Amino acid sequence: MELKKAKIPTMYFIGVSTGDSSSKNIFPSWAETLGILPCELVGIDLKIHDDPRNYREVVNFIKEDPLSLGALVTTHKMDLMEACRNEFDMIDSVASELGEVSSIYKRDGKLCARATDPECGGLASKNFLTSGYFNETDSELLILGAGGSSLALVWYFLKGEGRKSPPSKIHVINRSQGRLDHLVKLAEGWGGNGLVVSHHASEPSIADQILNGLKPGSLVVNATGLGKDIPGSPITDSATFPEKGIAWDFNYRGDLMFLSQARSQKQSQKITVVDGWDYFVIGWSQVIADIFNIEIPTSGTLYEVLSKQAKEYR
């Protein structure tokens, strides 16, 4: 990891394989449209569950370098917050509650942390879920993974706008028991006692069993890095998606094996298959708004222009 002092206003992208992201190609067009040039986007790659000292080194570098304006965080949202909570001058209430950060930015000389996933995930879901979907179908939600984006989705359906039509049951599957315990504890505080069920799955075959037992119309979400940061899928080819269900992969690049598995059952199970593209565009636009201290709407003419520009580089 080499951190060089910024020569022009700079936004960072903290991930695992940032060089493969569409963002580096999209960003110049967005910057021109938003009138924030000159500026640049620089990727910082860290290992999954990296040494806390590396997270602190990155955050303190951004904090101390005048032209380093902030960063978008993927994959490392919870690990970075755990390692760097004391490095931030201001932490928004949702980020503090969830224990995750996706947006790092500066205001009046202070380094701030915000969790954008609850808002952005909810907005992205509106592109394929009707406002009363779960009330109308009495279906369930299965989240594969218990990281920051998973936690944010649970928050959305228990405390956010999604609480108006919550799933009849929220299943969360993860390989790490610690992350599951953290999620369930928070969910109980949000009124999800009995609604949120955790499953410790050391093998994908265990996830298959839960998936196979879901009600028709249920939503299945891949909120893991499998298929993007690491090849593979959290389920096996033997898993059966719920009839008339929805398969949503938070990833939009990589081998996307989960999406391939879902598409192979699209006709037989009559399922809807959704990738993470809208989530990507909404999430990035809101963090850019934080970092450059501008307003970027999540609908309307300007958003449509940004979305169209992004699709050209997909």
The first and second tokens of residue 172, run together, are: 């969360």
pLDDT tens, 109-158? Answer: 999 999 999 999 999 999 999 999 999 999 999 999 998 899 999 999 99
Cα angle value 76/50/93 (rounded, 5°):
35
Average pLDDT over residues 92-97: 93
pTM: 0.88
pLDDT at residue 229 tops 80: no
- Report the percent of the chain where pLDDT is more than 90: 84
| Closest C-alpha to 175, from 119, 213, 230 | 230
- Report the percent of the chain where pLDDT is more than 70: 100
Terminal-residue alpha carbon distance, the chain? 27
pLDDT tens, 99-122? Answer: 999 999 999 999 999 999 999 999
- β-strands 68-73, 103-107: how paired? antiparallel
User: Which residue stretches of 159-237 are H helix?
Assistant: 177-189, 204-212
